[in-house]
Amino acid sequence: MTARNDIQAITERIRERSKVSREIYLGRVAGAAGKTANRGVLSCGNLAHGFAVCSPSEKVALGGDKVANLGIITSYNDMLSAHQPFETYPQLIKDAAREAGGIAQVAGGVPAMCDGVTQGQPGMELSLFSRDVIAMSAAIGLSHNMFDAAVYLGVCDKIVPGLVIAALTFGHLPAVFVPAGPMTSGLPNDEKAKIRQLYAEGKVGRAELLEAESKSYHGPGTCTFYGTANSNQMLMEIMGLHTPGASFVNPGTPLRDALTREATRRALAITHLGNAYTPVGRMIDERSVVNGVVGLHATGGSTNHTIHLIAMAAAAGIRLTWQDISDLSDVVPLLARVYPNGLSDVNHFQAAGGMGFLIRELLDEGLLHEDVQTVWGEGLRPYAVEAKLGADGSVVREAAPKVSGDEKVLAPAAKAFQPSGGLKVLGGNLGHAIIKTSAVKPERRIIEAPALVFDSQQGLNDAFKAGLLDRDFIAVIRFQGPKANGMPELHKLTTVLGILQDRGHKVALVTDGRMSGASGKVPAAIHVTPEALEGGPIGRVHDGDIVRLDAEAGTLEVLVPAGDLALRPEPVCDLSGNEHGMGRELFAGFRQMAGRADHGASAFGTA
């Protein structure tokens, strides 16, 4: 089934806009691809260094051009729950590769930081830029040119986008992404959120708060809410970079290990030494990118991907814009309700039918491009399945269930939760911004109130503790953009603004910073661009100015005469406190080079 005309039209618009940059990119991919194993261009000295620690039989194999070698890029560390399971994956992959007649080597490791640990801390100002560092780290590992395909082990927020950028930079190599899966369900996310609010109000102590957090985040795997990490996994599957059904299987299970072994065999099969050469740079095209955006909208995914998807697409010479993302949102229905868009977690989504059900519904409605190439082969329809463990320990697949296991979590297209997706672009005299509407009740999507201006999230939290915020207002948090301080997530605002909203006040947030995929129930116009440090109008808003945020009409305005706003002097903010400590001094160059949020906020430039 072909995609609907409106989906086709947006895709064609992207293709036409990207024509020149995409042709240049594909030319580079073709130039990098050799007719023999890349090791064939290495000198004997080069090669000797590359296989010095291998067994004698592996040295013989790697010395020729007939055995495929997989380069493993891993984000393993044993502090973070989502990445700890990757400890055992390299050996599992090596064993599976050997059994299939290939070889695998760990090409390199990449950093993996957790926004959950750094929320509200100085380290959060390194978070967004870690994406580019991850891409660069992976590139260093692959630059040895020893590999016929790459296997990427990554899960969380900036790790997967960084790995995708690296994979597309080495677009002549096939790329298979291997997830670790979500942790099992713990304390429900809405109960955890209630304890956070009670703590912020002084009604429970730190011991009670830590107990609740620990019961929620309690074991190996990704956090169970539908934030950026789990949005990443959805994207990798719907874009064809996972094997079918791989995204949301829990760590440490026989099925999880079987999927990893299978992914290894598939990576070997799609090298140029196999029968189905699939270089990722050709595999991922405009249709794949549009499928990713459609999946983001249909599931109410993370706002962070309005930045990451643009940067990922640019790495393949594809020029995606916020307007493309917004226009797709207008025509894609919301089919999933996973916290913070609902009360259930990602394990409930998986149990209700998961990615297989979702992909089938979207394909049947013509909302996805079926005629794409994936790591599994031709077409997206083979992803409309559920992966299970066979009697012999291998992966078997069954057609996705015809009926959702829980229509309150995962709805068929005929019973969509809302006719449009969860993300929208706002525009007006404050610039452009993103708002996530899927978690915001309709009656709260239009807010008009006086502005209260702060230069940090701590400033707002201090005002709350001083009892100064019991009223209607729109919080304007400025100087939080990429060039100012690395564009940290401002997740600590969620609890305070949620409390005030629950008290009956009309509140909203406008900021040139980020919010996480768990941004929650308060209307938030985020990623405002141009940012304040670049002279953006958000910097000229004064306390008491009336600001109107209208997520229905897609507008963001400060209600002052245009001439008056333009004549106001640009504000001065002392950012010296953001320049040092916790490694921030090492990222001064990144802050200077960072692009705008709507261009991907990357130090690498755009397509």
Start-to-end C-alpha separation, the chain: 31
Of 174, 307, 300, 176, nearest in space to 236 by CA: 176
Strand-pairing partners, residue 70, are 104, 149
Residue numbering of the annotated binding site for [4Fe-4S] cluster: 156, 223
Alpha helices in 124-270 (DSSP H): 127-142, 159-169, 189-200, 206-216, 228-238, 254-269
In contact, 214 and 319? CB cutoff 8 Å: no
In contact, 100 and 140? CB cutoff 8 Å: no
Alpha helices in 286-364 (DSSP H): 286-299, 305-314, 322-331, 346-352, 354-364
Cis peptide before 340 (omega within 30 of 0): yes
Of the CA atoms within 13 Å of residue 525, those in its CB half-sphere come to 36
For residues 550 and 579, what is the distance between their CA atoms, to the nearest angstrom?
A: 35
Cis peptide before 85 (omega within 30 of 0): no
In contact, 182 and 216? CB cutoff 8 Å: no
Q: How far is CA 490 from CA 374, 520, 602, in A?
A: 36, 12, 19
In contact, 434 and 551? CB cutoff 8 Å: no
Alpha helices in 143-205 (DSSP H): 159-169, 189-200
Q: How far is CA 292 from CA 234, 239, 306, in A?
A: 8, 6, 11
Give the other-Cβ count within 10 Å of 277's Cβ.
16
In contact, 335 and 411? CB cutoff 8 Å: yes
178 phi and psi, to 5 degrees?
-120, 115
Longest dimension (CA), the chain: 77
CA dihedral for 126, 162, 155, 340, sign (positive or negative):
positive
For residues 288 and 296, what is the distance between their CA atoms, to the nearest angstrom?
A: 13
For residues 46 and 264, what is the distance between their CA atoms, to the nearest angstrom?
A: 26
- Classified as helix, coil or strand, 62 is helix
Q: How far is CA 164 from CA 146, 249, 375, 443, 558, in A?
A: 19, 21, 14, 38, 38
Residue numbering of the annotated binding site: 156, 223
In contact, 152 and 167? CB cutoff 8 Å: yes
31 phi and psi, to 5 degrees?
-70, -30
- Do the bridges between strand 423-428 and strand 446-454 make them parallel or antiparallel, or are there none, so unpaired? unpaired
Give the other-Cβ count within 10 Å of 17's Cβ.
17
